């Protein structure tokens, strides 16, 4: 097999679009990790996975019985979390979002490197970050904090690969503002808990949200051509 992709959150949004785009290429295999299956293909392997569950993260292992020229992990699964000012956030919602957005990313990266560190292949870890990692939004403390942590984790992984033979290429790449279910949630938020709500309503009304299929293709092309020398924190250029 030429390429094997592991994609979290593969049941919808960017994860589903990316899985389908990869499967549209010759000689590819996709493992999808999500609580529900919505991709069906002879080269797609679904793993029923709840990344907010601590026991799942603790015992997580990747399939070692694959032979590919390229092995890719895309930590795509994520949640906006509760949109609310700090002081009004439900603790269970907070912990669930942190588990999904950053603990799962760290745990799966750890398992991925452990599983494939001796494999001679092009090995790539892509973390789906956001401009919210660098820009503070009132009401988005969960999302901003976990994406900022993702960026720093990516930088640490890059530092750990210095001098390693056949290293893992590690990147955190922001996709821009996509047309996903998350955007619909944002547009329905309580404006007293998210003062910038009107901006996102306008983006939708003026057709400025990017189709996920277009973003998926851009991620695929980035992986195909990256060589590990690019800056670890990136934004998709469309």
Mean per-residue pLDDT for 73-96? 97
Is residue 143 among the annotated active site residues?
Answer: yes
**Residue 48 and residue 68: Cα distance in Å, rounded?**
23
Ramachandran area for residue 12 (φ above 0: left; ψ -120 to 50: alpha; else beta): beta
Average pLDDT, the chain: 95
Share of the chain above pLDDT 90, in %: 92
**pLDDT band per the 50, 70, 90 thresholds, residue 237:** confident
Confidence of residue 1 (pLDDT cuts 50, 70, 90): confident
Q: What angle do CA 184, 105, 159 make, to 5 degrees?
A: 125
Beta bridge partner(s), residue 116: none
The pTM assigned to this predicted structure is: 0.95
Question: What does the pLDDT look like over 145-203, one tens digit per residue?
Answer: 999 999 999 999 999 999 999 999 999 999 999 998 889 899 999 999 999 999 999 98
Which of these is catalytic: 143, 169, 171, 219?
Answer: 143
DSSP H or E run through 195: none
Contact 132, 186 (CB under 8 A): no
């Amino acid at each position: 097999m030429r390429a094997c992709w592991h994609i979290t959150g593969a049941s919808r949004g960017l994860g589903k679009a990316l899985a389908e785009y990869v499967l549209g290429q010759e000689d590819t295999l996709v493992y999808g990790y999500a609580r529900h299956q919505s991709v069906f293909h002879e080269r797609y392997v679904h793993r029923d996975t709840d990344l907010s569950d601590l026991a799942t993260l603790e015992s997580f292992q990747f399939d070692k019985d694959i032979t590919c020229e390229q092995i890719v992990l895309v930590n795509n699964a994520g949640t906006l979390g509760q949109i609310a000012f700090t002081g009004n956030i439900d603790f269970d919602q907070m912990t669930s979002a942190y588990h999904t957005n950053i603990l799962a990313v760290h745990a799966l990266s750890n398992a991925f490197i452990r599983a494939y560190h001796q494999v001679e292949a092009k090995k790539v870890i892509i973390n789906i970050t956001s401009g919210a990692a660098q820009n503070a939004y009132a009401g988005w403390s969960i999302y901003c904090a976990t994406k900022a942590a993702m960026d720093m984790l990516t930088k640490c992984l890059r530092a750990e690969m210095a001098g390693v033979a056949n290293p893992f290429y590690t990147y955190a790449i922001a996709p821009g503002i996509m047309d996903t279910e998350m955007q619909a949630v944002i547009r329905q938020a309580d404006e007293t808990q998210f003062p910038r709500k009107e901006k996102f309503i306008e983006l939708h009304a003026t057709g400025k949200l990017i189709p996920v299929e277009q973003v998926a293709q851009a991620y695929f092309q980035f992986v195909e051509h990256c060589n590990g020398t690019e800056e670890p924190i990136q934004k998709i250029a469309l």
